[in-house]
Structure 1
Amino acid sequence: MSKNRIIVIGGGYAGLRIVEKLAKNSQNKIILFDKNPYHFMQTDVYDLIANEEDFAQVTVDLFTFCSGFDDNVTFLKQEVGSVDFKNKKVITSLQRHEYDYLVIAVGSRTKFISSVKGLDTYAHGVKALHKAMFFKQKFEMSLFTKVQESGTSCTPINIVVAGAGLSGVEIAAQMASFSRDFYRKNNFICRKLNIVLINSREHVLPGLHKKLFDKTEKRLKKLGVIIKNQTKVSEVKQESVTLSSTEVLSMDFIIFAGGIEPNALVYKLHLDKNETGYISTNRYLQTQNYANVFAIGDCTTIYNKDKIVAPTADTAEQMAELCAKNIDNLINSKPLIEHNIKSRGILVALGRGYAVAKLFGFYFSGYPAYIIKKLVEKIYAKRLDTRSKKGCKKIFCD
């Protein structure tokens, strides 16, 4: 019996989940492509920056992960340059790979708004691991410099976070919480850290329930974060940020969390896309152009009852699970399943020992919500780690 040649592009939340599901069928021959040799757990990036976790705890090696299956999964560290949909071939700089079924799961990236002068030059994004690590190092060195100044001038560290969605509020809260505990624990005299959160909307966490954003704003203010609602960044210079209100803020760092856009590969693919550039898919998660090509995760936009489903790790994994079922149904000539994907909950980390959450209609805040978030993260990491350990033993023992 011939194998089902399946290619998955992207080793993010959606990509890894669909590999796990498809690998259960020994007749599936799966190739996973990613330009990086690791899976980056972006939901933990804020803990990484605030020294809650280290590099090893927020990454999974894709070579060992894929080796942990029964010899029907291969990982190739190659960047996909294009896809020949007519001839069913994925093209990299090294070779061409034929497929029967293709899953595009390349995710998204930080969108630096071109109309804001200096933004792409001086602002940091944290969706990519190397950028998160770069900012982490600069943040730590700034704290060290302030310690060196103790007893002398002690100038403040000024950090601007532009964007008050999930990413913006979590990183602002984590940095504020970490620095507060850092100064207190070591009894340093110099404790000046100014974090300003710039929000273009009326309140933080737009689109979420009032209970969540009220608790979040209260927590941020308690941590000393300054929130400027209904304000935008209009220009960024090396040491300052100008706001739409004409106010000028001194700045050591600016993190931009004000928007995302599709991964660069999406722009190169000859597929139908929506008005914001994301791949258009049908109710079965197939692309509009090809029945054997699927798009899942942050590179596409899905709707539930005419409302956009938030692009979270939970949503990505739900899409991956349904996509795997539909590929199996295509292989076996069975009817496809329409998606009914919706957010099962939201967990927002707001510093050490505190979070807000909505899970299955119930609201939590404080330490209980923090424990739930940590538990969800640890269960996810443990699942991948178990697979990687199996692959590691196979590589070094075979």
Structure 2
Amino acid sequence: MSINNYNKIIVIGGGYGGLRAVENLAKDKNNQITLLDKNAYHFMQTDVYELIANEKDFAKVSVDLFTYCSGFEGNVSFYKQEVENIDFENKKVITDTQRFSYVYLIIAVGARTKFVKSIQGLKEYAHGVKALHRAMYFKQKFEMSLFKKVQESGVTCKALSIVVAGAGLSGVEIAAQMASYAKEFYCENNFLCRKLNIVLVSSSKQILKGLDDFLVEKSHKRLLDLEVVIKSEARVISLTQESVTLSNGETIPMDFMIFAGGIEPNGLIYKLDLPKNERGFLNINEYLQAGSKKEVFAIGDCATLYNKGELIAPTADVAEQMAELCSENIMRMGTNKKLKAHDIRSRGMLIALGRRYAVGKISNIYISGFVAFIMKKLIEKVYFIKLDRRSKKGCDKIFNA
């Protein structure tokens, strides 16, 4: 078959949605798929709490995109290039080094931590963990801080103070995991210096705003059991290297701070001449198409998705559902079939709250404790094994060629 008879499909972004779209589309040998990402790896952001708490190293929360794409049957290519813009009229994706033509385009660039400019000192003294390099840096700083407290030892050692700003899923999971890890670290090693203060700052009256009451109540109790201090109805207004000032006038000493107070679209989205909402995220129709260009789709955290007028929270599960529908609609367009409207909704949620404990809601069934923890670990394991097998296959092809 001539290459001109292939469907040239470009996927921008190697996150949860991007990889699921590649996997589905690659099943049709008539599709020639190009994956573009500025990073050479896929980062499993849902496992970041385990990375920080030293339960996993970076190799277990990332997959090499070169070997992953080589693991398909010759119709998937990966280019480590940052996309600078898109020429929708001429169907060209413009990177920092070249141009790629497409028949269909999937934008799946995700989102990044929003470092609010009005918060003085935020960008200089706070850490985000949505990017792997930031999570790795924070992990190292956290471990070094624990080590320094051990070196101080004695009854006069100062408490290690950590502030987590933002009480959504990421903030709650990270606060719980660090508290659980630090408590275990000090006790198991019989260190005299065991002082640790973790403060979780919530702009709302309750943590996990908008989630089910069961999840909120169980998570709140678990945080208190781990001695996490929760500051409700407060916002961070300024930072120095050694303290955080809140909107209620309180100043909290800190060794470092994680900012999980919000997200914004990745930089590319701001450059695109496509409809966006007031927060800058892409607006998409019921078929997941962006703007008037019917061959352009947007999936994952960079797009705003509604189901019967209700905003759907951006999660890995939702991104993968979007990828599956997007792939199906591209195949339908190729065969002149009617497109399928989405009925995407959250299929459940599991929240990790420290070692061997989680809470969740799966298909309207509530679970908590060790059972929920095992289920979450199993889901993460299955996801990683699937990608790892593809990556190993690609690795073998490259080195045995």
Instruction: Give TM-score scaled by structure 2 length.
Output: 0.98
8 Å CA contact retained: 1:272, 1:289? no
Distance in 2 (alpha carbons) for counterparts of 1:343 and 1:206? 16
How far the C-alpha of 1:153 sits from its partner, in A, is 2.8
User: Is residue 393 of structure 1 aligned with residue 378 of structure 2?
Assistant: no
Give 3-state SS (helix, strand or coil) of 1:97's partner: strand
Could you tell me how far apart the structure 2 residues matched to 1:317 and 1:150 are?
47
The alignment partner of 1:212 has SS state of helix
> Which residue does 1:121 correspond to in 2?
124
Aligned partner of 1:206 in structure 2 is: 209
Which residue of structure 2 aligns with residue 26 of structure 1?
29
Q: Deviations over 1:329-365 (max 9, x none)?
A: 0011000000000000011000000000000001111
Q: Of 351, 374, 378, which residue of structure 2 is paired with 1:375?
A: 378
Q: 1:36 pairs with 35, 39, 42, which one?
A: 39
Unpaired runs of 5+ residues, structure 2, are none
Find the residue that maps to 2:178 and give its secondary structure. Answer: helix
Partner of 2:224: 221
Q: Name the amino acid aligned to 2:198.
A: I
Q: Per-residue CA shift, 1:132-172, capped at 9, x if unaligned?
A: 00000000000000111112631111100000000000000
Q: After TM superposition, what 4+ stretches of structure 1 lie above 6 angstroms from structure 2? A: none
2:63 aligned counterpart, secondary structure: strand
TM-score (norm 1): 0.99
Between the aligned partners of 1:120 and 1:358, the Cα distance in structure 2 is 35
CA distance in 2, matches of 1:190, 1:121: 29
1:165 to 152, 159, 168: 168
Q: CA deviation at 1:220?
A: 0.3
Q: Does the 8 Å contact 1:67/1:388 carry over to 2? A: yes
Contact 1:117 1:234 in 2 (8 A): yes
2:135 to 125, 132, 135: 132
Once the two structures are overlaid, the 10-residue window that deviates more, 101-110 or 274-283, is 274-283
The answer as to 2:187 corresponding to 1:187 is: no
In the aligned structure 2, how far is the partner of 1:99 from the partner of 1:68? 22
Structure 1 residue identity aligned to 2:373: Y
Q: Distance in 2 between matches of 1:54 and 1:289?
A: 43
Q: Which runs of 5+ in 1 are unaligned?
A: none
Secondary structure at 2:28 match in 1: coil
Cα pair 1:8 1:104 within 8 Å, conserved: yes
Q: Is 1:289 the counterpart of 2:266 in the alignment?
A: no
Deviations 1:100-158 (A, max 9, x none): 00000000000011111111111100000000000000000000001111126311111
Could you tell me how far apart the structure 2 residues matched to 1:151 and 1:362 are?
A: 48
Query: SS where residue 234 of structure 1 aligns?
Result: strand
**How far is the alpha carbon of 1:93 from its aligned partner?**
1.5
* DSSP-derived class of the 1:286 partner: coil
Q: Give the corresponding residue for 1:64.
A: 67
Letter of the 2:202 counterpart: N
RMSD: 0.7
Partner of 1:310: 313
Matched residue, 1:257: 260
Equivalent position of 2:244 in the other structure = 241
1:55 equivalent among 44, 53, 58: 58
Matched-pair contact (CA < 8 Å) for 2:299–2:323: yes
* Alpha-carbon contact 2:155-2:192 (below 8 Å) kept: no
d(CA) in 1 for partners of 2:37 and 2:104? 17
Q: Which amino acid aligns with 1:209?
A: D
Number of residue pairs matched by the alignment: 398
Take 1:144 and 1:233, find their aligned partners in 2: how far apart are those partners?
A: 28
Whether 1:344 aligns to 2:347 is: yes
Residue type of the alignment partner of 1:394? K
> What is aligned with 2:96?
93
Contact 2:161 2:253 in 1 (8 A): yes
Verify: 1:280 aligned to 2:291, yes or no. Answer: no
State how far apart, in whole Å, the 1-side matches of 2:265 and 2:289 are. 17
C-alpha distance after superposition, 1:179-213 (max 9, x if no partner) = 00000110000001100000011111101011111
Q: Does the CA-based 8 Å contact 2:165-2:171 persist in structure 1?
A: yes
Equivalents in 2 of 1:275, 1:148: separation in Å? 49
Q: Which residue of 1 aligns with 2:156?
A: 153
Q: Secondary structure at the match of 1:227?
A: strand
- 1:40-93 residue CA offsets vs partner (Å, 9 max, x unmatched): 000000100000100100000000000000000000000000000000000112
Structure 2 distance, partners of 1:348, 1:251, is 26
Cα distance between partner residues in 2 of 1:289 and 1:204: 39
